[in-house]
Amino acid sequence: MGEADDNDHNDRVARREVDRHDPTRGAEGPARMKVFLAQPRGFCAGVERAIAIVERALEIYGPPVYVRHEIVHNAHVVKSLRAKGARFVDEIDEIPAGAVTVFSAHGVSKRVADEATARGLPVIDATCPLVAKVHKEARNYERAGNEVVLIGHHGHPEVEGTRGRVEGHVHLVSSVADVEALRVEDPKKVSYVTQTTLSVDDTRDVIEALARRFPSIDGPSVRDICYATQNRQHAIRQLAERVELILVIGSRNSSNSNRLREISEEARVPTYLIDGPESIASEWFEGIDAVGITAGASAPEVLVRDVLDHLSRLASIEVEQLDGVEEQVHFKMPRKLVST
């Protein structure tokens, strides 16, 4: 951050200190507040498809429908689907014989898929097509004789699924330090893929480090990076330039929502990751004139509306949506759900 940015940030802090003593303000926060909405925000096409798959399966087959892992990482969505008859499990052996089974948007390993097949479970795969593309790329690199490096976060279900789609060992790296410690059999036969919830910006330093260590490394085009992740991160950077506080709507276990919070904090804007209006504390808004709202790729727009309703009870608000990318991506439903 340059000197001009520091001065601007300091000016905003100073204005907030003055505003705290403004007698026109109520004890619980500002009397007036401008609210800016990031664009785009909320559901991506992969999440929309996954939720629609569970809902359609419930319509066709009736409840219960069993979902291996949370369909997407959002507490509101999971609660809503559970109320309609979805049952979420961690392992295939928790699913009764013959029960309709859905694989989550994060994808599953070959072991999980094979276990479902061996048990004769009727499976509907809700894996995001972009995640499925990463699976295919990783397998192709391995078939070409290359060792596969996966840029991602340990323990994330998408990472576990991708590693489990490759027969050989997959090297997992999350940082430049991980790359420096990486040991491979043949430095000339290395390829990489990335977790889809990481953006071009998130992976740039790691990819550059891989290229320095392995000059002949092969990897996907940046066009293969998840469009939704990149768009939402760009939008929150724009939002951070306009506001004094940001609310990121998303669950604690949502990787992309947590990253949005981190980006906002890197821009030195106070930021809160919230499940919904019930997570909001009125004292956050004392001395605040401009608030920004965004939502992770698995957070529904209804939560944005609920948060706006809540803020309107704290202050007189004026809402403005910022200009941004209008996403037009849509993924097809599985054929068995369309033809029924």
* CA separation for the pair 235, 183 (Å, rounded): 37
Structure tokens at 111: 């072991």
Instruction: Tell me the three state secondary structure of residue 303.
Output: helix
Q: Mutual orientation of helices 75-84 and 45-61 as an angle, nearest 10°?
A: 10
Contact 206, 176 (CB under 8 A): yes
* CA separation for the pair 175, 193 (Å, rounded): 14
Contact 107, 158 (CB under 8 A): yes
* Residue 229: closest CA among 273, 269, 195, 266: 195
Q: Is 59 a catalytic residue?
A: no
Residue type, 255: S
**Which residues contact residue 308 at a Cβ distance below 8 angstroms, ignoring those fewer than 6 apart?**
35, 293, 317, 319
* CA separation for the pair 163, 150 (Å, rounded): 8
Active site residue: 137, 158, 160, 244, which one? 158
Instruction: Tell me the three state secondary structure of residue 340.
Output: coil
Residue 40 backbone phi and psi in degrees, to 5? -85, 170
Which residues participate in catalysis according to the annotation? 158
